[in-house]
Amino acid sequence: MQTQLVIKRTAQGFILVSALALLSVSLMAFSNPQSVMDLVQVQLTNTDAFSSIRGVYGGVGLTLCITLVYLMIRDIEKGLLFLSLLWGFYALSRIVTVLAEGPLGAFGRQWLFIETLLFVIAVTLSWASKQVRVSPIKQLQ
C-alpha cells in the first residue's frame, strides 16, 4: 500500500512538473512570442507570425497544461499515457528532423535528450503504477 502511494504521488508530481513546464512556455508566448522564437534564433517579422506563435505555444500550451492538471486529479494513468505520447512525439519529431534535414544544433540535441528522458519516465511510471495495482490480485491467485 505504501509503494502504491509513493508511485501515485511521484506520478502526480511528474504530471504537475510537465504541466508547469508547458505553462511557462505558454505564458512566455502569450506575453512575448518573439522570446519563444529567440530560443531557436528565428525572427518573427509580421503579425501573422506573432499570432501563430501565440496560438500554438500559448493557446495550445495552455490547453495542454489545463488537461494535464485535470488528469493529475482525475485519472493519473491517462495523464501518464498522455505524457508518454506528448514527450515521445516531441522526441520523434526531432529524430525525423535529423533524418530529413541533418544534425541538430545544441538546443535541439539538449531537448531531444530531455524529451526522451521525460518519455522514459512517463512510460516507467505508467508501468510501475500498473504493476503495483495488479500485484495484490496476483498474490491472491
pLDDT tens across 95-133, in order? Answer: 999 999 999 999 999 999 999 999 999 999 999 998 877
Condensed to tens digits (0 to 9), the pLDDT of residues 18-76 reads: 999 999 999 999 999 999 999 999 999 999 999 999 999 999 999 999 999 999 999 99
Res 132: pLDDT: 79
d(CA 28, CA 54): 9
Q: Which residues of 20-59 are buried (b: 16+ CB within 10 A; e: fewer)?
A: eebbebbebbbeebeebbeeeeeebeeeeebeebbeebbe
pTM listed for this prediction: 0.90
- pLDDT band for position 141 (cuts 50, 70, 90): very low
pLDDT-based confidence at residue 84 (cuts at 50, 70, 90): very high
pLDDT for residue 133: 74
Distance between CA atoms of 37 and 65, rounded to whole angstroms? Answer: 20
Distant-in-sequence, close-in-space partners of 11: CB < 8 Å, separation ≥ 6: 76, 79, 80, 125, 126, 129
